[in-house]
Homo-oligomer: A and B are copies of this chain.
Amino acid sequence: MSGTAAQRAFAVGGGPRPTAVVALCGGVGGAKLADGLARVVPAGELSIIVNTADDFRHLGLWISPDIDSVLYALAGLADPVRGWGRRDETWSFMAALRQLQAPDWFQLGDADLALHVERTRRLAQGETLSEVTAHLGRALGIAARVLPMSDDRVSTRLLTDEGWLDFQEYFVHRQCCPRVQRIEFVGAAQAHPSAAVLAALRRDDLRAVVICPSNPLVSIEPILALPGVRVALRDRVAPALAVTPIIAGRAIKGPAAKMLGELGLEVSGVSVAQRYAGLIDAFVIDAADPPAAATPQMVLTRAQTLMQTPADRERLAHAVLAQADAMRVGLGRGGM
């Protein structure tokens, strides 16, 4: 692609209106918008590409925290109070685990365990993570396609003032306390995005690509680090938009703001937008944010990005898709 994304034109052919939407997302925050999109995009037309660089083996179980957050959000099973895991959860397993003096730093609810046990069982039988996730999505009645970014192993690790830490060690065990100096996605360069991920990005009936309000540094960038994903994004036939995970200089959830600051980056939506330069056509900052300097590479728009209720999710999804439709039609009409 030459020129800036905001100057691109998207074909408006005489065929049917494009219906396919692709979302990229990480955990809980991104999963909320993914759920919003699932509520407004026709069944089967939404593909959600999910970060798997947080995945890890714990107690012999294969745990995919971001995939689980998306599955639970879309199945209506996410716990609205804790913000992670399943609603109506019980905790007998953890109590018994402590009694057995087993590692207990990672909280696993009793019902949540079923997902990890069944995933691990199916992986051990030779299924790919994509196949397992497709099964779990079907079993939970989810119409959207939840796509692990890759069936290959990619692992986020962070260089901190306490040395290198694996992601869950940093995120859960050390509760994001160490100062981050560098982030690496081990295995990303050798990994392949799944065939379904590339196919979703290359659909010629694509309506929009949406980067959800996830941590850019550890949720979205592992996806972008996979060979072929940036190229597929640049070659897309529909507008791409990202939604800020930062409101008024603070992350809604998680360590995004702390990490940006520690890495010497501005803690703002625009700072996040700049990390996606060349890949998106528009960036959605929060309606309550102060005026931001325009960026030459993309359109800055505003929306109510805080999602406290299911209605908030749906409203934001509508706003994002409306912006994408406007850009496609507007740019298409104007031509280049």
The residues of A with any CB-CB pair to B shorter than 8 Å are 59-61, 86, 89-90, 92-97, 99-102, 109-115, 117-118, 120-121, 124, 135-136, 139-140
Contacts and interface: CB of A to CB of B under 8 A. Distances in A.
B93 A140 contact: no
A117 B92 contact: no
Contact of A97 (B118, B120, B140): B118
A17 to B, nearest CB: 36
Nearest to A136: B100
A118 B93 contact: no
Please report whether the interface of chain A is mostly helix, strand, loop or mixed according to DSSP: helix
A271 to B, nearest CB: 40
Given A59-B121, A92-B110, A92-B111, A140 B102 contact: no
Given A92-B90, A99-B140, A140-B100, A60 B121 contact: yes
A100 B120 contact: no
B93 A114 contact: yes
A86 B60 CA distance: 22
Contacts of A117: 59-61, 93, 97, 102
Contacts of A93: 93, 110-111, 113-114, 117
Contacts of A124: 60
A251 B315 CA distance: 65
13 contacts: A60-B60, A60-B117, A90-B90, A93-B93, A93-B110, A93-B114, A97-B114, A100-B114, A100-B139, A100-B140, A110-B110, A110-B113, A113-B113
B99 A114 contact: yes
B111 A60 contact: no
Given A60-B117, A92-B111, 19 more contacts: A60-B60, A60-B124, A61-B117, A86-B96, A89-B92, A90-B90, A90-B92, A92-B109, A93-B111, A94-B114, A96-B113, A96-B114, A97-B114, A97-B118, A100-B118, A100-B136, A100-B139, A101-B135, A102-B118
Given A117-B59, A121-B60, A110 B97 contact: no
Contacts of A99: 114, 139-140
Which 6 pairs from chain A and chain B are nearest by CB?
Answer: A96-B114, A92-B110, A110-B110, A96-B111, A92-B111, A97-B114
Given A60-B60, A90-B90, A139-B101, A96 B121 contact: no
A117 B62 CA distance: 12
A313 to B, nearest CB: 23
Given A90-B90, A101-B139, A139-B101, A96 B120 contact: no
A253 B112 CA distance: 34
Contacts of A59: 117-118, 121
